[in-house]
Amino acid sequence: MTDDSFNSLDGGGLFPRLQQRYGLRENPLEMETPFFPDAMRHHALEALRHLCGFGDMALLLTGAPGSGKSRLLAELVRSESSRLGFHRLSAAAMTSPNALARDLKQVARSGASPDENPRETVYRFFRWSEGKVAKGQRMVLLIDDADRASPELLRLILDGFLAADHAKAAVPVFAGEDRLVALLGLEDASVSVYQIHLRPLTREELFSYLEPRVHKAGGKVNELLSPARLARIQDLSQGSFSRLKRVTPGIWLDIVSDASKSKRSRSIDLKQLRLPALALLLLAGSWWFVSRQYEETVALEQEAVSEPDRIRKSITIGPHMPDEEMPKDEAPDELPPALTEPSPLPDPVSEPEPEP
């Protein structure tokens, strides 16, 4: 399911059908109040209030698209405009250093020369903002969607703040996605920057956000926020406020139920194919192993048959065997010739003749 499927919801096109079906008095998804304090949103707001008033550090408000960064900045301005002076810098309007310098000149209302270096104009703005503290009102620069601006301009604003007196100068607040850390070059640098991160909402936090709005609009909480519908809202919104406003009306009108079921059935089919595929793979592996063993066995048998039998002869040492007892097909082995000739026998001694 993609975001394009809910484009018709952006203008509230489905709200009349929600009114007719559930008897809602107003659209619960368009209510800005009450402010949602869970998911560390209240903690983030209090941190912004304290750090903007105290100064000394630039602030980084990060989070995924639709995590509520702009809503948090709006709540900060609403609650702290009496003691802080806010000025918004549009990321779309910051197209060049000259455009940034012109914007800051209008805020400072200083008679700078037209040919002044844009970098010097930015630095001079932060020096000028130091005097606002003496008058009881600190300046705060809000740069929403800062990740869409040029990294060169973002770094120029940060350098201008770091070059001034941190305790008195205007506090820059950069709001955008997590890649802001890389755009500002803060990975390894230990500079005076404090980051506040907004994470996505969990299922319980989605219920806490929608429950008072549904109740205020006159809807039935147990019907619109049933466990099945709440799980589907969590799955499609991914914990994002902006996606929540787009997908929730379609879920309440059961428009996305068929798509969700078909998606679930496709996932089940893929899971069911895993076991047969694994069994087929094991069968193929065992067949290959057995065939290799068979080929090796046949090769060994052929080698054994082709080799002639060796004829071994034995030599016996012992008494002379008569010829008739000796096998006909075997001949007696000839003894090797003696290494030395036998010594001649002595002449026989003649016996003396008897006397007459």
* pLDDT value at 117 more than 80: yes
216 in the same domain as 186: no
223 in the same domain as 173: no
Domain that holds residue 70: 41-198
Q: What are phi and psi of 142, to 5 degrees?
A: -105, 120
Q: Is residue 218 part of a domain?
A: yes
170 in the same domain as 51: yes
The model carries a pTM of 0.67
pLDDT band at 139 (very low <50, low <70, confident <90, very high): very high
% of residues, the chain, pLDDT over 90: 49
Q: What is the DSSP string of 53-70?
A: HH-SSEEEEEESTTSSHH
Q: What are phi and psi of 138, to 5 degrees?
A: -80, 145
113 vs 326, more confident: 113
User: Does residue 195 sit in helix, strand or coil?
Assistant: strand
Q: Residue 160: CB partners within 8 Å, gap ≥ 6? A: 122, 123, 125, 126
Express each pLDDT in 30-61 by its tens digit.
998 888 999 899 999 999 999 999 988 999 99
89 in the same domain as 227: no
Q: What are phi and psi of 259, to 5 degrees?
A: -65, -40
222 in the same domain as 240: yes
150 in the same domain as 67: yes
pLDDT value of residue 11 = 44
Q: Residue 40: CB partners within 8 Å, gap ≥ 6? A: 198, 199
Please give the tally of structural domains in the chain. Answer: 2
Token pair belonging to 165 = 């007196």
Find out whether 178 and 69 touch, Cβ atoms under 8 Å.
Answer: no
243 in the same domain as 130: no
Whole-angstrom Cα distance, residue 210 to residue 224? 9
Tell which of 154, 170, 198 closes a domain. Answer: 198
78 in the same domain as 166: yes
190 in the same domain as 69: yes
Q: Is residue 85 part of a domain?
A: yes
